[in-house]
Chains A and B, each alone.
Chain A
Amino acid sequence: MVGNRRTYPARGDRRVHITYRPETLREALSLMKESGKEKRVKPFAGGTDLMVRHRGWHGTTSGFPSDILFLDRIDELKCCGFYDKEYHIGAACTLAEVEQDDRAPSILKEAITLMAAPALRNRGTLAGNICNASPAGDTLPPLFILDARITLIRQGGSRTIPIEDFITGPGETVLGDDELLAEIRIPITEYTHLCYRKVGTRKANALSKLSFAALAGIEGGEIRDIRIALGAVAPRIVRDREIEASLQGKAFDEIDLRGTLEAYGKLICPIDDQRSTAAYRKQVALNLIENFITRDIREDIQSKE
C-alpha cells in the first residue's frame, strides 16, 4: 500500500478509522472490494460535502463513521478529454478544471461557474456532485439534458449507465459497495437554443432554490429536439422524455402550452425547507419552462423570420 495510513479516534465508539490514499486505480479497487461488504470505506474526492456533513465541534477531528479512501492521488481518474465523440471527465477532476476546459459543454460550465465560490470549485468534483445525489445538485440538470452517462468500475469489471438510472433518490444511487464512479461521459449534442437558470438564495456562494436547464434544436420553424430538466423541485431531477417527445416535430403554433405545463406540473412536487417554499418552487419552475418555450425560442425564431 502506497497510500498513507493515518489513524485517528472516532467520536462515540472510539473505534480507530483508517484513511487510505492510493496512487493507482488497481489499489483503490482492491481496497473497495476488501471492505466493500461491510461498507467500511467511503470514497472521498473533493470532500466539500463530506467534510461539512461529518464536521464536529471546532478543534476536534471530523466524525466520519467509516474508513476513508482519498481519490486525489489517482492519476487515472484525473483525465478530461474527447474520445469517441464523447467528452470524458475523470472522477478526480475538480469543478474548476471542467469550468476552465474549453472543450467542456458550455451549459455545464455555466452551471459550475454559478456554484459555491472559487475555493470550493477548486476542491469539489463533478463526480462528487453526482454521487452526493442531492436533488439540488447544480450540475445535474445540465448533465441530464446532455444525456450524460456514468462509468462505474469495480475489481474485474465496469458498466456504463445513463445518469437518470444512476441516481435513484435523494442521496441514493446504484453505486455498488465495491464500486467507484470512474468517469462521466457526455456525448456531443447539437442544438440551436440553450438555457440555464439557477434560482439561488443569493448571487454567489448559494445553494439553489431550484435550477433549470434546457436545450432545443429548431429546424425550419419546427422543434427537432427539446430537452428540459429541473433541479430541487422533486426527490429526483425532473426530466420527462414523453413530454419532450410530444413537442417534437411540432411548429410553435401547434404546441399545446397549457397541456405541456400541466404535464410538467404533475412531475413537480417540491418541498418547503429553510431556503424556499414548495409553492414558489413549483410556480417558478413552470414559469421557467413557459419562458423557455415562448420567449427564448419562439420570440427568437420570430425575430429571425
Chain B
Amino acid sequence: MKDIQKAVPRVDARGKAEGTTAYLADLRMEGMLHGKFFRSTRARARIVSIRKPELPAGYYIIDKDDVPGENVVAMIENDWPAFVDREVNYLGEIISLVVGPDREEIVRIHDSIEVEYEELEPAFSLEEASALKGGPIHGKDNLFADYFISKGTPDEAFRKAARIIEDTCDTGLQEHIYIEPQGMLGWWEDDRVVLKGSLQCPYYVKHAAQEVLGCDDEGIRVIQSTTGGAFGGKEDYPEVIGAAIAVAVNRIKKPVRIVFDRTEDISFTCKRHPSRIRFRTAVDEKGGILGMDIDIHLSGGAYETYSDVVLQRTMFTATGVYDIPSSRVRGRAWATNMVPSGAFRGFGAPQALFGIETHMNHIARELKVDPLEYKSRYFLQKGAATVTNGRIYEDVLLPEMTRQIREMSNYKRKYDEYSKSFGRGIGVAFALHGCGFTGDGEQRLIKAVVRLVKREDEKIEILVSNVEMGQGLLTTYRKIVSKVLGVPLEMIIYENPDTARVPDSGPTAASRSIMVVGYLLQEAAKELKQRWDDESSFEVEKHFKMPPHTSWNQDTLQGDAYPSYGWGVVAVEVEVDPVTFEVETKGIWAVHDVGVPIDERVMEGQVTGGVIQALGYGSLEKLELKDGRFYQNTMTDYMIPTSLDFPKVEGSFVENPYPYGPFGAKGGGELVFDSAAPAFSAAVEQAIGKPISRIPVIPEDIMEVLS
C-alpha cells in the first residue's frame, strides 16, 4: 500500500459527529428575513392574472418585475426563467418569492395569492413528448439535444448477422435525499449581494446571480456553507435559489434566507433523468457480437439544465466496458412538463450501464452461456477503440478484477447451483466511468485555476472553488498538499470556498475534484516546495492543461471522450420470497480501480455509500409522476435504504496509477454508483428465472413478471 492511501482522521468528522458544525439552517443574521416560494399549481398553463394581497409593512412579494438583469437561471441554455414570466411549464415552477420577518405571516400572505390560469395540455411521458402533445415545450421538436455517433461498420454488421437480439431497458426517476435540504442565505454588504449556500459549484451560482442582477464580476460574491450531502443535487438547483435570493436582496437590501422543507425539496428540485434505451445487437452463428444499434431517450423535464451533457455521457458510456467492433448510438433528450431533470451522481452513465449490462446478460441467456464468462470475452483493453473512436490509454485490469470478484463472491458455485431452482440468484455488473468533464470540456469550458499560498506563519492555504460535501475533500486535498511538501496535515488550511478569495477551479462534479483539481494542487505544491526558501510568503498558481495524449472534436463527438476511466465490478446475491416477492440481499462484493485511493477509508466510504445508494435506485426508490406531481414526495413514501436493508459491502481496490492524477489517483465518486443496480437486477433475474429490464425492481413488478 502506498503511504498516501493510509487513512487519516477526517478533518471534519468530529464537528459533524458531535453536531457542533453549523449548516445553513443554523445560520442567522441580524434582521434576517425568511423567504418562501410561491409556486404554480399547474403543470402547463398560461398565467392570466395574479391577485396579490395587501402587504403589511416589511413584507415583500418578489417576482419577474424585480429582476434588474435577465430573468433566467443561467446554466448552459438560458431557458429556465428565474420567475415565471407568463408560461408555466411544470407543476411547482417559481412564480414569486414571499419575504418577511414572521413565518406565520409569510404563510398567510403566500396562501392568499390568487392566480388565474389558462390551462394547456401537458406532456409528461417520453411518448407524449415525442408526439408533441399540447404543442412543443422546447423549440419545434421538444428536443434539448439529438446526437449520433458511429464506430466501425454497423450496416455491414447487421447485414451479416445470423440473428438480432433486442432489448428495451427503462430506468426511473431518482431523488438525491442529501441529509441537508437545499438552502441559501443572501445579504447586502459593501454595495453588493453576498450569497452563502449549501452548494457544489460556487462559480455556477455566481454566474447565475450575475445574469439575473445584470451586474459585473464584482457585483456578487458566493460563499459555500458547510454542505450536508449533495450527490449532484446541489450542482444545478442552488442556481435557482441563488438567482431568486439575489433579486430579493438586491431590492430589499436585507438578509434573506431560504431553507427548504423535505417535502418541498423532494417535490421541486431536480431529479435523475429517467431513461429508455433500445438495444439491437447483431450476433453471428457462433454467438459473437458483430455490432450494436443503441437508441437512447432521456426525459429532461421542462428546462434544459445539463441534459445536453448528461445525454453525451449516456451515449459515450452506452457500450460499457465492452469492445464492440461496430456500433451506432443515437441519443435524444426530451422536454416534458416535469420538474427539470438534472445532475445526479453518475450523470447519465448509470442509465447506460444498467442498459448495456442487462442487455449483455440477456444475450448470454439467449445463447445459454454464463453471463460473466460471456462478458469477459469483450472487455476493452489498452489501445482499444472507444465508442467515440478514441483510445483506451491505460492498462485495463478487468481480468484481474473479475478474478477477484469470482473468488470473493464464490460466483461459480453459486451461479451453477442457483440456476437449477427458484429463489436465489447472483448477478455481476461491470462499469467504467470517464473522469472529468466530457470531451474537451475541462479545457474549453472550465479552464481550472488553483492557487496555493505560503503564509508568513509557514502555513499553506489551498485556494480552490471545490467543496467538501461529504466526500472527504477537506481531508484529501490537505493530504495531497501535505504529502508533497512533507509537512503535517495541520499546517494546511482549506476553508469553505468564497469567490472573493478563491480562483475558479471549476465545479465539484464529474469525478474531477481529485483527478483534475487534485493534480493541479500536487503540481502547485511541487513548485511551492522548490521555491520554499525564496520568500517568506508567496503564491503559486496552476492552470489546467489537457493531458497530451488526448484529442477531441466536439462538433463530430469523435476522439477521446475522457482522458481516463475508473473501472468497477460489483456482485450481488439475492433471495426472493415466493410468498411476498420481497427480495433479500444476501451479499455484496465490489472491486474498483480508481488509480490509487488518496485515502483508503474515504474511498471505502465512497464504495459503501455509492453501492448502497445504487441498490436503492435499483430496488426501492420508486418515484412516480401523477398529473405532474411526484406521488412519493415525503420520506415516508420515497424509500431510500436503511442500514437494515442491505448487508455490508465487501470491497477491494486494484492499484493502477494514472500519470495525470495526484499520486496516481483517478475519479471514484461516481464510479461506485454505476454497477450495483444492474448487478441486483441480474441476481433477481436468475432467482426468478425471468428477464427483467426495468429498475427499480420492486416486488410488485416481480409478481407481474412471474404471473
A residues with a Cβ closer than 8 A to B are 9, 11-12, 52, 56-61, 197, 199, 201-207, 274-277, 279-280, 283-284, 287-288, 291
Interface of chain B residues 638 through 653 with chain A (CB within 8 A): 639, 641-645
Contact A274 B632 (CB under 8 A): yes
A203 touches B642 (CB 8 A): yes
8 residue pairs A–B, Cβ–Cβ below 8 Å:
A11-B104, A11-B107, A12-B111, A58-B261, A59-B34, A204-B645, A206-B639, A284-B699
Q: Which of A59, A275, A280, A283 contacts B637 (CB 8 A)?
A: A275
Closest residue to A10 on the B side, CB-wise? B104
Segment from B231-239, B510-518, B576-584 that makes contact with A: B576-584
Q: Which residues of B contact A203 (CB under 8 A)?
A: 642, 644-645
Q: Identify the closest chain B residue to A117 (Cβ).
A: B642
Distance of A202 Cα from B405 Cα, bound (Å): 28
Smallest CB-CB A-B distances: 10 pairs: A203-B644, A280-B700, A204-B644, A59-B103, A204-B642, A274-B631, A287-B579, A274-B637, A291-B579, A201-B639
What is the minimal beta-carbon distance from B165 to any residue of chain A, in angstroms?
31
Query: Which B positions have Cβ atoms within 8 angstroms of A?
Result: 34, 36, 103-104, 106-108, 111, 259, 261, 579-582, 620, 624, 631-632, 636-637, 639, 641-645, 699-700, 703-704, 707
Do B700 and A199 have beta carbons less than 8 Å apart?
A: no
Partner of B642, one of A202, A207, A274, A283: A202
Do the beta carbons of A288 and B579 come within 8 Å of each other?
A: yes
How many angstroms between the C-alpha atoms of A187 and B643 in the bound complex? Answer: 37
Once the chains bind, are B579 and A57 in contact (CB under 8 Å)? no
Query: CA A11 – CA B110 in complex, angstroms?
Result: 12
Whole-angstrom CA separation of A217 from B259 in the bound complex: 57
Contacts of A284 in B (CB 8 A): 579-581, 699, 703
Closest A residue to B633 using CB positions: A274
Find the B residue at minimum CB distance from A197.
B580
Residue of B nearest to A275 (CB): B637
- For the complex, give the distance between the alpha carbons of A12 and B109 in Å: 10
Residue of B nearest to A61 (CB): B104
| B703 in contact with A199 (CB, 8 Å) | no
| Sample of 5 more A-B contacts, CB < 8 Å, known A56-B107, A57-B103 | A61-B104, A202-B644, A204-B644, A205-B642, A284-B580
Give complex CA distance A275, B642 in Å: 17
Bound CA span A57–B34, Å:
12
Complex Cα spacing A204 to B624, Å: 22
Expressed in whole angstroms, the minimum distance between the Cβ of B697 and any Cβ of chain A is 14
Residues on A with C-beta less than 8 A from B259 are 58
- In Å, the complex CA distance between A201 and B639 comes to 7
- For A205, the chain B residues whose CB sits under 8 A away are 642
The answer, among A11, A201, A287, for a CB contact under 8 Å with B620, is A201
Identity of the chain A residue whose Cβ is nearest the Cβ of B642 in the assembled complex: A204
Kindly list chain B residues whose C-beta atoms are within 8 Å of the C-beta of A207.
Answer: 636-637
**Chain A positions within 8 Å of B703 at CB level:** 279-280, 283-284
How far, in whole Å, are A7 and B111 apart by their CA atoms in the complex?
23
In the complex, the answer to whether B620 meets A202 with C-beta atoms within 8 Å is yes
Tell whether, in the assembled complex, residue A60 and residue B104 are in contact, meaning their CB atoms are under 8 Å apart. yes
State the Cβ distance, A34 to closest chain B Cβ, in Å. Answer: 28
The complex places the Cα of A206 from the Cα of B620 at a distance, in Å, of 12
Interface pair A277/B700, CB less than 8 Å apart: yes
Name the B residues within 8 Å of A52 (CB-CB).
636
Q: Is the CB of B624 within 8 A of A60?
A: no
* Neighbouring A residues of B641 by C-beta, 8 Å: 202
Q: Are A288 and B107 also in contact (CB < 8 A) when A203-B645, A204-B644, A274-B637 are?
A: no
Q: In the complex, what's the smallest C-beta–C-beta distance from A291 to chain B, in angstroms? A: 5
Residue in chain A with minimal CB distance to B108 = A11
Bound Cα distance from A279 to B624, whole angstroms: 17
How far apart sit A60 and B109, CA to CA, in the bound complex (Å)? Answer: 14
> What's the nearest-Cβ distance from chain A to residue B264, in Å?
9
A139 to chain B, nearest CB (A): 18
Contact B699 A280 (CB under 8 A): yes
Question: Taking CB as reference atom, which chain A residue is nearest B107?
Answer: A57
Query: Could you say which residues of chain B place their CB within 8 Å of the CB of A11?
Result: 104, 107-108
- B111 contact set on A, CB distance < 8 A: 12
Shortest distance from the beta carbon of B15 to any chain A beta carbon, whole Å: 23
Decide: A57 near B580, CB < 8 A? Known: A202-B639, A205-B642, A283-B703: no
CA gap between A279 and B700 in the complex, in Å = 8
Taking the nearest CB of chain A, how far is it from the CB of B413, in angstroms?
27
- How far is the CB of B583 from the nearest CB of chain A, in Å? 11
Bound-complex Cα distance A197 to B579 (A): 11
Residues of B within 8 A of A60 (CB): 103-104, 107
Given A57-B103, A275-B637, decide whether A287 and B580 contact each other with a Cβ distance below 8 A. Answer: yes
Q: How far is the CB of A105 from chain B (nearest CB, A)?
A: 24
Residue of B nearest to A277 (CB): B700
Q: Considering the chains assembled together, what is the distance between the CA atoms of A12 and B111 in angstroms?
A: 9
